[in-house]
Amino acid sequence: MSDDAIRKRLREFVAKNFYMADASSFDDTSSFLDRGIIDSTGVLELVSFVEGEYGLAVADEDIVPANFDSIDALAAFVARRTAKTTS
Amino acid sequence: MTFSLDDLRLGDRAPAELDRICAWLRETLQASKRRGLVVGLSGGIDSSVVASLAVRALGADRVFGLFMNEGESADDTARLSKLIADHLGIATANEDISPILDAAGCYARRDEAIRSVIPRYAPGWKCKIVLPSLLETEQLRVFKVVVRSPDGEELSARMPPAAYLTVVAATSFKQRTRKMLEYFHADRLVYAVAGTPNKLEYDQGFFVKNGDGSADVKPIAHLYKTQVYELAAHLDVPAEIRARPPTTDTYSLPQSQEEFYFSLPYTGMDACLYARDHGISAAEVAAALDLTPTQIERVFKDIDAKRAAAKYLHAPPQTLAI
């Protein structure tokens, strides 16, 4: 799966799952936490989504801002982990 | 000047602060045309201090204490609640809220959600939900459920969002049921209801909306927990209550406030909240608390995030302007 396809799917999920009156107000580099787009429950929802959508087992130590705080970060994490799973 | 934990202590100002709160309580009650105060008693420091302040401001005959235990309350809750009520000489009522909670499905809905994560969880087992420590790792904090069997076997699992939200929503029946009963007694007595949050809880949203977050007056919501303990000593709150570790007393397994909500024990949280609001650097707080600046920065971020989330909890119902 291409990085672009992952990014598009994540963006769809975030826009659909977390209510935003104007979904265009955040881009792929926007910090979810700093922008208040998601809270701790939202993190749980992102983890659950990538586990279900991509068949990944996300370990506690993976749930860090470097992996989960923007569309770009999460897409990179999913791409790394799916590449590892399929290689 | 170097930051110290003493900076947020009332110290010599404590007697004047007691007088200020009591005068405000009298004025507020007069303005709202209520004749006294109802206080839900948990045997903890906050409700004991609020009840003591109410008695000091209004007299014991205008304060009504409520015991509202349920099957999962801590063993010492009932005894310490009665201890402060007897100490103050106030009228009380005992309201066992277990049947209401049972009828509302509080336990059944919560247990079903837990079983969706840990199928072996069964009647007789105990539970709580916990957050990982923010100090040891930069990991984003996500809740886990911890259960313990009658023979002591402990299991834990990360919670899927739906299960977590259902557990919290079902458990909130406890705080909302208690508030409903407080207002029953307030209405029949023409009293107001006193809320018991301290500044940490109020600022950081550590309450249930329309549950323990609801009240007519909140006499200690401007005081750090450290300051509440100081006032407790001045108000002669029994030593056993002052020595009781803060607890949520919400789940069937013992749960500290750090496990469920705050990043640090209350003295550290008070210091960080004070520092955040007074422009004191993470390095200065770190030195005072014997932690690292990186750890304090994480606490600062957590404070900011909780404060943002608390906006919804504090907001009154929104209406359109005419």
Residue B131, pLDDT score: 83
Q: Does A65 touch chain B (CB under 8 A)?
A: yes
Is the separation of the CB atoms in A20 and A26 below 8 Å? yes
Q: Which of A44, A61, A63 sits opposite B164 (nearest CB)?
A: A44
Q: Does B294 touch chain A (CB under 8 A)?
A: no
Is the separation of the CB atoms in B262 and B270 below 8 Å? no
Using the predicted structure, report yes or no on whether residue B79 has a pLDDT greater than 60.
yes
Q: What percent of chain B has pLDDT over 90?
A: 81
Rounded to the nearest integer, the mean pLDDT of chain B is 94
Q: Which of B132, B142, B308 sits opposite A44 (nearest CB)?
A: B142
Residue B261, pLDDT score: 73
Using the predicted structure, report yes or no on whether residue B262 has a pLDDT greater than 80.
no
Segment holding B6, helix H or strand E: none
Q: What percent of chain A has pLDDT over 70?
A: 92
Number of Cβ pairs < 8 A linking chain A and chain B = 46
Collect all residues with Cβ–Cβ distance below 8 Å to A48 and sequence separation of at least 6: B160, B161
Average pLDDT over residues B1-22: 94
Using the predicted structure, report yes or no on whether residue A62 has a pLDDT greater than 60.
yes
Residue B251, pLDDT score: 82
pTM above 0.80, yes or no: yes
Helical ranges in chain B per DSSP H: 14-32, 45-58, 77-88, 98-104, 106-115, 161-189, 199-204, 225-234, 239-243, 257-260, 266-277, 282-289, 293-314
Residue B269, pLDDT score: 92
Specify the higher pLDDT residue, B105 or B247.
B105
Segment holding B144, helix H or strand E: strand B144-148
Specify the higher pLDDT residue, B203 or A60.
B203
Q: Which of A41, A61, A63 sits opposite B165 (nearest CB)?
A: A41
Q: Which residues in A lie closer than 8 A to residue B138 (C-beta atoms)?
A: 64-65
Using the predicted structure, report yes or no on whether residue B1 has a pLDDT greater than 70.
no
Would the CB atoms of B160 and A48 count as touching at under 8 Å? yes
Q: Which of B138, B164, B309 sits opposite A39 (nearest CB)?
A: B309
Confidence bin at B115 (pLDDT 50/70/90): very high
Nearest CA of chain A to the CA of B120: how many Å? 22
Using the predicted structure, report yes or no on whether residue A87 has a pLDDT greater than 60.
no
